[in-house]
Structure 1
């Protein structure tokens, strides 16, 4: 059985994704009864409101550039599940990392990122997201101890309630960037290298038996996000994507504040 998918705007990668998932997805002419895919540029939450008011059963926000002022209020207003595709926090890689940990505790998490001044909010937001999910910080905001910000970056120490401490190093460059590396140490160690502009992601898992590099993911990010959203709609599973996105955005803004 195919599920209707409504695209709110020019989203060619999702047109391709729908075609490749023809056994489970089909284009819809409107949001009523459909999964609505929302472009993440500008005030995307207005398009989300219109799609929800038009009867969408779930929303998938693609690469949101900014967060609305009051995310909890938006969640309540929309009243439907909201998934968020984030370039450096792909759900499949997150699932692989958490599966590799298999419940084992971590002692520390360190994230390093390099970003242009314009792209820093997104890259730092995704770095914070990795630290949150690996330390078990749920969807809340952490306590933040900032280092002294400089012209070329900053540092921060973060701790979520009930979670281990995490450290962040941010390097700002004039152009380029978009690089993120996360190292987690414990009984099982993780190394995650992400280059969103190049579409490259590498996950290394270290145990007493040695290091294992997980196979590269060849599925396009948009197809992965759409497939996950369709599974959620089918199963009725809850998602904390929007709450996590809002909390990470607020934390990133605190870290980058001058």
Structure 2
């Protein structure tokens, strides 16, 4: 039996992903054709239409690279993509850091979750969406918005677990800051018997997780693997094992909170 390793083609134009292919010579090879390849779709503009086109051209899997806003009307189009593996690369919500955060709590629930987000106004919505994602992770499931307010410069939301009667109190605050292209800042506190703190500075490429228990504080090892490389490895694994990938469902859950917050604020404004 041959010991050769199957290399998958990767169709990508983004420099980070081309670099990731070069770093994975055993499992990845550059490809100019979407058919049978992992297709990397840049997350700017109408990325959902490009993802649909990649599937129609025979992509084996799709990586959506750092997606920006998703319009409410495009959600059903994204749902139709789940017949092939879809990896949603979210550098502010890396799955390896999420795993560390969950393992650090050892099943002990949080009683209070507080999320703070900051980014230039043009980038604030995606950062808040990923803040909702971290809140979902620490709450242990999907959330619903109880109350909220929003302006061009700020968002505030109070949330509760969607499917459980009891759960943590969850707050999120997002603020627009001067500048452009920073990638945003996130800080998440999950308090209770175990204290978890996550800090993400995307522009600096830094993500820090500290978990505090009665035994002391533990800082998770820094992840040096680039987010793009991690996303490709996850795509290869999904293709080879056929395992379920929940990226799209989780992404849409987090987007829905942003849509619900906007709708709630619009309804309040209309009633004034």
TM-score (norm 1): 0.90
Tell me the secondary structure at the aligned position of residue 249 of structure 1: helix
Give the alignment of 1:60-209 within 5 angstroms.
Answer: 60-68=63-71, 69-77=73-81, 79-138=83-142, 142-149=143-150, 152-160=153-161, 161-162=163-164, 163-175=167-179, 178-209=184-215
Tell me the secondary structure at the aligned position of residue 197 of structure 1: coil
RMSD of Structure 2 on Structure 1 (CA): 2.0
| Deviation at residue 250 of structure 1 after TM alignment | 2.5
1:253 alignment partner in structure 2? 259
More displaced, 216-225 or 150-159? 150-159
CA contact (8 A) 1:49 1:78 kept: no
Task: For residues 181-233 of structure 1, give each alpha carbon's deviation from its aligned partner in whole angstroms, at most 9, with x where no partner exists.
Answer: 00001332210000111111000011111111112111111111111221222
- Between the aligned partners of 1:106 and 1:90, the Cα distance in structure 2 is 20
Q: 1:255 to 1:197 in 2, by over 3 A?
A: farther
* Unaligned segments of structure 2, at least 5 residues: 267-272
CA contact (8 A) 2:198 2:208 kept: yes
- Matching of residue 24 in structure 1 with residue 66 in structure 2: no
Q: 1:73 to 1:99 in 2, by over 3 A?
A: same
1:230 alignment partner in structure 2? 236
Q: How many residues align?
A: 254
Tell me the secondary structure at the aligned position of residue 122 of structure 2: coil
Runs of 4+ in structure 1 over 6 Å off: none
CA contact (8 A) 1:17 1:222 kept: yes
- Between the aligned partners of 2:82 and 2:111, the Cα distance in structure 1 is 38
Tell me the secondary structure at the aligned position of residue 34 of structure 2: coil
Structure of larger gyration radius: 2
1:54 alignment partner in structure 2? 57
- Between the aligned partners of 1:33 and 1:187, the Cα distance in structure 2 is 48
* Unaligned segments of structure 1, at least 5 residues: none
Structure that is richer in helix per residue: 2
